[in-house]
């Protein structure tokens, strides 16, 4: 299985990218910084369409946090 990490996946454009990648067969890591609800909504759409994914939270400007993903 291929994986895709979409930073800002909880936002409008990021959410659309997440959904499209899931439709293409990717397991999508939906990133959010502060809007967990929006990330969850994106993940719900992905799963409703038969895709797979998960939500991840970290600050992309924190190099230590990024390395843990």
**Residue ranges per structural domain of the chain:** 3-63
Tens digit of each residue's pLDDT (9 = 90 or more) over 34-67:
999 999 999 999 999 999 999 999 988 888 877 7
Q: 3-class DSSP state for residue 34?
A: coil
Distance CA 36, CA 57 (A): 8
Tens digit of each residue's pLDDT (9 = 90 or more) over 15-27:
999 999 999 999 9
Per the DSSP assignment, residues forming a β-bridge with 52 are 27
pTM: predicted TM-score of the whole model, two decimal places: 0.90
Residue 43: exposed, middle, or buried by beta-carbon count in 10 A (0-12, 13-18, 19+)? Answer: buried
């Amino acid at each position: 299985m291929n994986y895709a990490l979409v930073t800002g996946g909880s936002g409008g454009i990021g959410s659309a990218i997440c959904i499209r990648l899931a439709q293409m067969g990717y397991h999508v890591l939906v990133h959010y910084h502060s809007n967990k609800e929006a990330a969850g909504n994106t993940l719900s759409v992905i799963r409703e369409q038969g895709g797979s994914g998960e939500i991840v939270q970290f600050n992309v400007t924190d190099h230590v946090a990024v390395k843990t993903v």
